[in-house]
């Protein structure tokens, strides 16, 4: 498009320039002068059409030598330049606004490729079992624990809001080094504690594929109650995790063992506290977690500002939303542990 505009401006000035500028070399001299004039003025007009209008009027007045037709030509040129300059600039701005940033396109292309690979892996997995059954069934490779090493609900009965304790384990260090998971108590209930991980443990999209999706159908819910559940907790630890009945702002209510906080829960329990800003583990960063000033943004289960977005807590601890297929979102699992 820029080439066509440049050609238009070149001809716009070269043609009248042939007649405006006299030359001792005759037509060949006029042609050279017209070419130079068209090239200079065309280039200038392409970026600074308003400067060109002023130059045209000044040059026309300087060379008119009392010839009215010269001033008429200059005035017409200035008018045409102004009209076309404004028109082309509006078109250029419109195209610029409609065209995505190249770096953003490349980033989205990488995310789509990662999502495609993960989607292929997800398709090979069986459908998630109901949460009530998941807790009672052992993982494919259950961890055998002695009675003395198995956790007991009484061990957490004295925990208060804001307290932290270790429970389960997950890759957190460099090269996937497994470490105990630290949990923060958000709320005491009659027979359980609502807890959330102190750190962002992994990076996962809310859903594989940019589409309208609710918590009940998203792939992150499946991942938390299947892969993460069995990877982070032994069979005896899973027995202490209560099934939570969750109300969701978009979509049906669900029953989950492991879940994400809702936007309302985040606002009432953790936002505006020192726990709203969370650092990612080294493993989460290796998995693609996005960070700013050492803090990561993390998903909430609530719907975002559009059907294909989900709520999140930003690196500064503020709540907004982002597209569900972003693979750079961090995960802070939450659950209820029996006391």
Q: Identify any residues that bridge with 203 across adjacent strands, giving them in sequence order.
A: 330
pLDDT of residue 148: 38
Distance CA 159, CA 165 (A): 8
Confidence of residue 8 (pLDDT cuts 50, 70, 90): low
CB 17 within 8 A of CB 38: yes
Greatest mean pLDDT range, 50-54, 219-223, 274-278 = 219-223
pLDDT of residue 177: 94
pLDDT of residue 92: 52
Mean pLDDT in residue range 24-44 = 68
pLDDT of residue 55: 73
Tokens of 111: 């995310």
Query: SS3 for 181-193, per residue?
Result: EEEEEEEECCCEE
Query: SS3 for 247-269, per residue?
Result: CCCCCCCEEECCECCCHHHHHHH
Mean pLDDT in residue range 89-110 = 49
pLDDT in tens, 16-28: 666 666 655 567 7
pLDDT of residue 1: 45
Is the confidence at residue 131, as pLDDT, over 60?
no
Is the confidence at residue 13, as pLDDT, over 70?
no
Distances (CA, A) of 300 to 90, 184, 332: 40, 16, 9
Q: What is the pTM of this model?
A: 0.58
**CA-based nearest residue to 222, from 152, 301, 314, 303:** 301
pLDDT in tens, 316-338: 899 999 999 999 999 999 999 99
Distance CA 221, CA 223 (A): 5
**Range of lowest pLDDT (11-15, 50-54, 67-71):** 11-15
Distance CA 308, CA 211 (A): 5
Distance CA 169, CA 149 (A): 14
Mean pLDDT in residue range 180-202 = 96
Q: What percent of the chain has pLDDT over 70?
A: 65
pLDDT of residue 73: 76
**Range of lowest pLDDT (142-146, 164-168, 187-191, 236-240):** 142-146
Distance CA 203, CA 45 (A): 50
**CA-based nearest residue to 60, from 25, 10, 16:** 16
pLDDT of residue 132: 46
Distance CA 164, CA 186 (A): 10
Mean pLDDT in residue range 121-130 = 54
| Average pLDDT in the chain | 79
Which one is predicted more confidently, 116 or 55?
Answer: 55
**CA-based nearest residue to 144, from 33, 71, 236, 238:** 236
As a whole number of Å, the end-to-end CA separation of the chain is 69
Mean pLDDT in residue range 111-116 = 59
pLDDT of residue 196: 97
Is the confidence at residue 96, as pLDDT, over 50?
no
Is the confidence at residue 146, as pLDDT, over 50?
no
């Amino acid at each position: 498009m820029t080439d066509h505009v440049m050609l238009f401006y070149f001809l716009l000035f070269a043609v009248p320039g042939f007649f405006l500028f006299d030359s001792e070399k005759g037509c060949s001299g006029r042609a050279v002068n017209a070419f130079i004039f068209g090239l200079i003025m065309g280039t200038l007009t392409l970026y600074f059409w308003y400067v060109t209008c002023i130059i045209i009027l000044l040059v026309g007045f300087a060379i008119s030598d009392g010839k009215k037709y010269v001033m008429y030509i200059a005035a017409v040129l200035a008018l045409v330049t102004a009209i076309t300059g404004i028109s082309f600039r509006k078109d250029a701005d419109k195209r610029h606004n409609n065209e995505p940033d190249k770096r953003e396109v490349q980033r989205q292309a990488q995310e789509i490729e990662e999502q495609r690979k993960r989607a292929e892996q997800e398709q090979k997995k069986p459908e998630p079992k109901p949460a009530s059954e998941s807790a009672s069934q052992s993982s494919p490779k259950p961890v055998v624990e002695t009675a003395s090493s198995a956790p007991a609900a009484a061990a957490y009965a004295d925990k208060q809001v804001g307290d932290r304790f270790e429970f389960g384990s997950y890759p957190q260090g460099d090269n996937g080094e497994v470490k105990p998971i630290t949990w923060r108590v958000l709320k005491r209930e009659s027979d359980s504690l609502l807890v959330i991980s102190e750190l962002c443990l992994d990076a996962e999209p809310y859903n594989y594929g940019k589409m309208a999706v609710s918590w009940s159908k998203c792939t992150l819910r499946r991942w938390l109650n299947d892969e993460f559940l069995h990877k982070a907790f032994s069979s005896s630890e899973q027995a202490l995790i209560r099934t939570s009945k969750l109300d969701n702002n978009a979509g049906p209510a669900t029953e989950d063992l492991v879940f994400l906080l809702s936007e309302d829960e985040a606002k009432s329990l953790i936002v505006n506290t020192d726990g709203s800003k969370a650092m990612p583990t080294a493993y989460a960063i290796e998995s693609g977690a996005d960070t700013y000033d050492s803090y990561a943004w993390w998903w909430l289960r609530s719907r975002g500002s559009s059907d294909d977005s989900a709520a999140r807590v930003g690196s500064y601890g503020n709540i907004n939303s982002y597209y569900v297929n972003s693979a750079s979102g961090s995960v802070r699992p939450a659950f209820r542990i029996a006391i």
